[in-house]
Amino acid sequence: MRAIWKGSISFGLVNIPIALYPATRKEELKFRLLRAKDHSPVNYKRVAEKDGKEVPWGEIVKGYEYEKGKFVVLNEKDFQRVDLEATQTVDIQDFVDLDEIDPMYFYKPYYLEPQKGGDKAYVLLREALADGKKVGIAKVVIKTRQYLAGVKALKHALVLELMHFAEELADAEKLHVPKKLEVGKREKEMAQKLVESMTSKWDPEKYHDDYREALMEVIEEKVESGGKEIEEKPKPKKESTKVIDLVAVLRESLAKSQGAKKKKSAPKHPAKKAA
């Protein structure tokens, strides 16, 4: 695994040399656009809207649309005027209780690996964050863009998780959601029981991308058949989602959930009866 960025973590007078590694990987299936008759790959061209002519890279500039159809062009000098100094430093500005931060702010994690001479300070920061349940709030410049980020302790590692700035999050108050609505005591109790019956320990390995797995099966079938059409399997009918009696629906859901739990807990190979 290659580091995508090298620099240091800075807080107070402490400086820790680190390297940044992706903590996630994309599992998306990639498809190419092809011409139907001979499966020739189709490439994209840079075409001007005005006359439909292809534009070479040397004639392309960057523009900002300040009004509909009106652009102002920015050149490299314009970008340099506001270019932030790429100090290669994760500059921690504050330490905040993790519980205070809405999870909506976090969106992309990276692993931080200590470099030569940084092990002791790395461990000290990791232990301080873990023991105090804190997050270091920092600003970092990666590939010419500044990001807000949180430095967290995760088991034996430090994680840098990129964050949204407050202005990037949409205001949920603008949604038309029921804020105050009386629910019946019986309905509430049934809902709580259903949640309890479906509660289990967090196990990330339990969850899989069903769509990707099913699509891979289709791809493998088509490869094996030489690209021929595969006969579609009949899909099970979906149950009606029309809710008439909420209590009845909750009761039915609870019964199904409890039944599923009993099946899971039942021994796979029951002991044979004695003769």
Q: What is the pLDDT along the chain (275 residues), one digit of tens a residue?
A: 788 889 898 888 888 999 999 888 877 788 888 888 888 999 888 999 999 999 999 999 999 998 998 999 988 888 777 756 556 888 899 999 999 999 999 999 999 999 999 999 999 999 999 999 999 999 988 876 889 999 999 999 999 999 999 999 988 888 888 878 888 888 888 888 888 888 889 888 887 888 788 888 888 888 888 777 777 777 777 665 554 566 677 777 877 777 776 666 666 555 444 43
Domain residue limits at 146: 5-24+83-168
Instruction: Specify the number of domains making up the chain.
Output: 1
Domain containing residue 159: CATH number? 2.40.290.10
In a domain, 154, yes or no: yes
In a domain, 163, yes or no: yes
In a domain, 107, yes or no: yes
In a domain, 121, yes or no: yes
In a domain, 212, yes or no: no
In a domain, 45, yes or no: no
DSSP string, the chain: ---SEEEEEEETTEEEEEEEEES----PPP---B-TTT-PBPPP--B-TTT--B--GGG--EEEEEETTEEEEE-HHHHHHTPPP---EEEEEEEEEGGGS-GGGEEEEEEEEE-TT-HHHHHHHHHHHHHHTEEEEEEEEETTEEEEEEEEEETTEEEEEEE--GGGS--GGGS---SS----HHHHHHHHHHHHHT-----GGG---HHHHHHHHHHHHHHHTTSPPPPPPPPPPPPP---S-HHHHHHHHHHHHHHHHHHHHS-SSPPPPP-
In a domain, 97, yes or no: yes
In a domain, 174, yes or no: no
